[in-house]
Chain A
Amino acid sequence: MAKDKHQAFKEDIVLECRNLNHWFGPKRVLFNINLKIIRGEIVSLVGPSGCGKSTLLRAIVGTHPPCEGDVMIKPRDSDTARVVTRPGRDRGIVYQQYTLFPFLTARENVAVGLMLDQTSLPFRLFRFQSWRTMKKKHLDEADALLNTLKLGESVNQYPHEMSGGMRQRVAIAQALIMKPSVLLLDEPFGALDEATREELQKMLLTLYGENTRARNEDRTPPYTILIVTHELNEAIYVGDRVVALSQHWDHKDLGLSGHPGATVVYDCMSPVFRPSEAPDFELFRKQREMLRAVAFEARHITDPNEHVQFWQEYDAREGWAGNL
């Protein structure tokens, strides 16, 4: 029974990058990226500067489709994946900056997605009474979500009146209210102080806890997250899986003249923590050193697949069960 469950989870691939290549003119950036993300995972994406993390994220968002290969996304209400060609509401995104609309209050920022998704412009312009009723419903939903994220006091504040941490929490709420298939976080905590950063990391762990609860109760895990970060401790702490991209790998065996770009050189499970648990940096040490050696040091590794072991680890541990 547990095996069936494990298999079912494994097959619920919500996001897949298939043979993805990207280049800008003569500069090759991404090479043959193959990545499958299971529903309910929090995947941390790390890599040295300029390795194409943001390019990969843009390809997934759909603003800059790959030059070759596909990004496949499985919408929440469908069993079949479709190719990503443009940005859509099935992928939420939180950036480091410009995350909120400055002209809307916190609750309006969170409710704006519901408005855009559930009503049309003519509806809002010409059916004012119905729109007013609906708007109230949207705002109530936004308030409820902001309350759960401990922002109940700040619902009427504008982004410029909030701290960086509050802004990022509202931005996460803004994306989550849309119930996206996958939530993409592009170095979301990069500009925050240590304490706020830790607080938001714990918030992600709380979301992960809800996924675990959902899995245990045979429900679909609600949150799938891909977080891009340059902070290795953060990657290991908040993610249940760490993926590293790197351009430092030996491509000569492929018979290519120029460097083909960065590829996935590391893909392994990482320890899962509860929000109440303090991060044990000593526990991270081995994985952090491995990541540094494989992805960050400019000594070219010969086999980029050597440390791509997530699926073997997953099968060996029967999913996340052994990881908790």
Chain B
Amino acid sequence: MIRRAIDKKKSLMIGVLSILVLMGFYSLVSHWQHQKNPDDSTIPTWTQLGQGVQKIIEVNPRSDERWIVVDSKATMSRLFLGLFFGVAGAVVIGLLMGCFTPFEAFLAPPMSLLAKVPPTAALAVFFVLAGTDTRMYVAMISFGVLPTLAQSIYLAVKEVPDETLYKAYTLGASQTELIWNIILRHIMPKMLDAVRLQIGPAMVYLIAAEMVVGDVGFGYRIRLQSRLLNMNVVYPYLAVLAAFGFFMDVLLRRTQHIFFRWYTHGKR
């Protein structure tokens, strides 16, 4: 029957099964490829992948550093800084647009225009305006996620029923209290949803920029190793990126479930 619920254990087992199917399929394709060409490195075997992982985590004799450590440090700090400024800016702009009609009239047109510009296409603009250091990555992610996020927050504010606001006024709320105590709390879980959806695009912008101008970071390493056809290094990097994205998503969903029980009820 459509939408019939299944129990948690069953759901988990099906989830694990899907990963196992994926791994099985990969093993099969890799096996076929190595039957055709035993030296193939485009679809590495599990043993080759193990060697790649070892290469990533052990100290590199040339740089005296572990790739995974330096790349993770560079990419994550850029990503978190970019997301932090992007989210902070989007919250302010989204709230202003949703609460005050002059701001809505002033900011809604540029926001909807900017949301249509892919930041990867505007890479050159960011190079010119912010150079090629961390500032550029942060600016790119911030400006990449800000318009869409601000629009999501603006729409969430607009969805707060008028009656809720009138009610708060009759309970003695000032304008600031209305925004802080009522509207912000009302939209917080929706804001987390919007941030969750923006993690993926933010990573795309960052990796793309690192591929073009980076000298460290996931994007840089993937580009370099792809050119050398070292896919046994590229795939683990992609797996780490996927795991990071997945972990962030789970973390935000758990946060939503713990702190906004009123919102998540019936959604799971």
* Interface residue ranges, A against B (CB under 8 Å): 61-63, 86-89, 91-93, 95, 97-99, 101-103, 112-113, 116-117, 121, 158-161, 174-175, 178, 180
Contact = CB atoms under 8 A, between A and B. Distances in A.
Contacts of B161: 97-98
Contact of B171 (A61, A158, A178): A178
B246 interface: no
Residue of A121, A158, A174, A180 contacting most chain B CB atoms (<10 Å) = A121
Interface in B154-179: 161-164, 166-174, 176-177
Interface in B172-192: 172-174, 176-177, 180-182, 185-186, 188
29 contacts: A61-B166, A87-B169, A88-B169, A89-B170, A89-B172, A93-B170, A95-B163, A97-B161, A97-B163, A98-B163, A98-B164, A99-B163, A101-B164, A101-B168, A101-B186, A102-B186, A102-B263, A103-B262, A116-B168, A116-B171, A116-B173, A116-B177, A121-B176, A158-B261, A160-B262, A175-B170, A178-B170, A178-B172, A180-B170
B171 A117 contact: yes
A74 to B, nearest CB: 16
A101 B163 contact: no
Residue of A88, A101, A113 contacting most chain B CB atoms (<10 Å) = A101
Contacts of B188: 103
Given A113-B171, A116-B177, A117-B172, A159 B262 contact: yes
The 7 closest A-B pairs by CB, nearest first: A87-B169, A113-B171, A117-B172, A89-B172, A98-B161, A98-B163, A116-B172
Contacts of A88: 169-170, 172
B85 interface: no
A121 B172 CA distance: 12
Contacts of A161: 265
Interface size class of B (residues with CB under 8 A): 20 to 34
Contacts of A158: 261-262, 265
Contacts of A92: 170
Nearest to B166: A63
Residue of B162, B170, B181 contacting most chain A CB atoms (<10 Å) = B170
Contacts of B170: 61, 87-89, 91-93, 175, 178, 180
A88 B168 CA distance: 9
A93 B173 CA distance: 14
B185 A103 contact: yes
A110 to B, nearest CB: 10
A289 to B, nearest CB: 34
Given A63-B166, A97-B163, A101-B164, A121 B171 contact: no
B171 A174 contact: yes
A113 B163 contact: no
B235 interface: no
A90 to B, nearest CB: 8
Nearest to A183: B170
Nearest to A63: B166
Contacts of B167: 93, 95, 98-99
B246 to A, nearest CB: 28
Contacts of B174: 116, 121
Contacts of A117: 171-172
Nearest to B189: A103
B260 interface: yes
